[in-house]
């Protein structure tokens, strides 16, 4: 596994030596080599950075969105658990590879940041909007790390791959790359959760983090006594939980991935609403307004373009699509993977849910008149609540 990781970065070095780096991926490749210079050398890296202009940096900055990486890392945590629990070796390898890609995405961002730092030392600091965007991105990734680093135990099933990557990093890079280093030697933690363990190994006797986790963890076969209910999540979102209840929620989500995902989904919903409202406040160009006002019969394909579809969420079990048609909107909840999915939509707190229609696209909710309104969605897979969020339409 170490050989596989090393060969991948060696191919990056060969690509750099040939001068064949694509502009859209140059920052990541250069940063990968900078952060692993003790093993790979840094020859040619500075020259490659001299060939990049401020426009190349700004293009990368505009394409980044730290909050978009959070659901990817949450899915990676789910898939790491699947890899640990899977009995089929081939299936476990698939889960492990998919999960590791989430961690690799975070590492690629770190490599780009390192490349930009060295680029600034050569060309001078970025200024204006580019400097502001770089600062905001660093802060955004910092917040993401602050939330997920304490939960690095979720990625213990990937430790063999994580150690391979950790050992290639320069010594001063390892402390920052929690996605590869935090809890990367805690393999015994998983076996300690099993009731069949005879006695703790040397790692468990000396690792304070494992000991702390074990003291708060029930055996694998004993389910948590209580999860967050729909009412708990609704009150959390509305800010009506007491201080004691909030403390319980914080403690429970430290141990329960499912409920942590539900809380984070609410936060993602708030961010989506803010973005949607910002989009609505933007002036519509006159040309676009006049085109939209044309009768459908005047232009080919009008029926196709009168409908706007936005994917609000996509997971292994289901997809949520918001459809806007002229002045009305509807919501589609599409089952994926053959599992039974149920859903509920609340337009007003305390009022009955909308009744869905079952159609070829899945469960369909008629939201009524579109524009400046919001709703609350809850999706269940089987008997387990796995997703809840607000959205605007």
Give the model confidence (pLDDT) of 147-198 as tens digits.
888 888 888 888 999 999 999 999 999 999 999 999 999 988 877 665 544 5
- Choose among 369, 374, 371: nearest CA to 391: 374
pLDDT at 339 > cutoff 90: no
Give residue 329's pLDDT: 87
Segment among 70-79, 85-94, 118-127, 287-296 with least mean pLDDT:
287-296
Give residue 223's pLDDT: 44
The count of C-alpha atoms lying within 13 angstroms of the C-alpha of 104, restricted to the half-sphere facing its C-beta, is: 14
Alpha-carbon distance 176 to 113, whole Å? 12
Give residue 94's pLDDT: 76
Reading the block at residue 259, the tokens are 């409920």
Mean of the pLDDT values across residues 5-12? 84
In what order do the strands lie in the sheet containing 384-392? 341-346, 374-381, 384-392
Please tell me which residue, 227 or 226, carries the higher pLDDT value: 227
Reading the block at residue 250, the tokens are 């914080």
Question: What mean pLDDT value characterizes the chain?
Answer: 78
pLDDT above 90: percentage of residues in the chain: 23
Give residue 87's pLDDT: 59
pLDDT at 269 > cutoff 50: yes
Give residue 355's pLDDT: 79
Integer-rounded Cα Rg, in Å, for the chain is 24
Give residue 380's pLDDT: 81
Give residue 71's pLDDT: 77
Contact assessment for residue 388 and residue 377, using Cβ atoms and an 8 Å cutoff: yes
pLDDT above 70: percentage of residues in the chain: 77
Give residue 279's pLDDT: 54
pLDDT at 277 > cutoff 50: yes
Give residue 350's pLDDT: 54
Please tell me which residue, 282 or 375, carries the higher pLDDT value: 375
Mean of the pLDDT values across residues 211-215? 77
Mean of the pLDDT values across residues 100-111? 90
CA-to-CA dists, residue 126 to 141, 154, 245, 346, angstroms: 19, 37, 45, 46
Reading the block at residue 364, the tokens are 């369909």
Instruction: Say what the pTM is.
Output: 0.56
Please tell me which residue, 88 or 76, carries the higher pLDDT value: 76
**Band of residue 199 on the pLDDT scale cut at 50, 70, 90:** low
Q: What angle do CA 188, 193, 195 make, to 5 degrees?
A: 115
Mean of the pLDDT values across residues 307-333? 86
To the nearest 10°, the Cα dihedral for 230, 232, 234, 239? Answer: -170
């Amino acid at each position: 596994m170490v050989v596989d990781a090393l060969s991948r970065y060696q191919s990056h070095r060969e690509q750099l030596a040939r001068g064949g780096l694509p502009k859209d991926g140059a920052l990541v490749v250069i940063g990968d080599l900078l952060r692993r210079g003790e093993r790979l050398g840094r020859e040619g890296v500075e020259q490659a950075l001299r060939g990049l202009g401020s426009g190349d940096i700004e293009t990368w900055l505009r394409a980044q969105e730290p909050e978009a990486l959070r659901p990817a890392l949450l899915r990676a945590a789910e898939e790491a658990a699947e890899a640990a629990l899977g009995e089929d070796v081939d299936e476990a390898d698939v889960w492990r590879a998919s999960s590791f890609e989430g961690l690799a995405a975070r590492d690629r961002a770190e490599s780009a940041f390192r490349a930009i730092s060295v680029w600034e030392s050569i060309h001078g600091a970025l200024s204006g909007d580019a400097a502001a965007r770089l600062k905001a991105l660093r802060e955004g990734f910092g917040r993401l790390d602050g939330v997920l680093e304490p939960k690095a135990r979720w990625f213990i099933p990937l430790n063999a791959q994580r150690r391979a990557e950790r050992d290639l990093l320069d010594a001063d890079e390892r402390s920052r790359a929690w996605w590869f280093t935090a809890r990367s030697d805690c393999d015994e933690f998983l076996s300690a959760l099993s009731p069949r363990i005879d006695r703790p190994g040397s790692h468990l006797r000396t690792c304070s983090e494992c000991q702390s986790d074990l003291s708060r963890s029930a055996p694998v076969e004993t389910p948590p006594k209580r999860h967050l209910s729909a009412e708990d999540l609704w009150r959390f979102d509305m800010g009506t939980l007491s201080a004691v209840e909030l403390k319980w929620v914080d403690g429970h989500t430290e141990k329960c991935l499912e409920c942590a995902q539900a809380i984070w989904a609410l936060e993602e919903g708030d961010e989506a609403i803010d973005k949607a409202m910002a989009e609505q406040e933007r002036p519509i160009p006159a040309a676009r307004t006049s085109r939209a006002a044309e009768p459908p019969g005047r232009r080919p394909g009008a029926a196709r373009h009168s409908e706007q579809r936005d994917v609000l969420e996509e997971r292994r079990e289901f997809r949520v699509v918001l459809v806007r048609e002229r002045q009305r909107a509807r919501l589609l909840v599409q089952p994926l993977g053959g599992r039974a999915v149920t859903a509920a939509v609340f337009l007003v707190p305390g009022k009955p849910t909308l009744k869905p229609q079952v159609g070829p696209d899945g469960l369909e909710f008629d939201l009524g008149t579109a524009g400046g309104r919001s709703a609350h969605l809850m999706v269940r897979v089987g008997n387990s609540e796995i997703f809840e969020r607000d959205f605007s339409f």
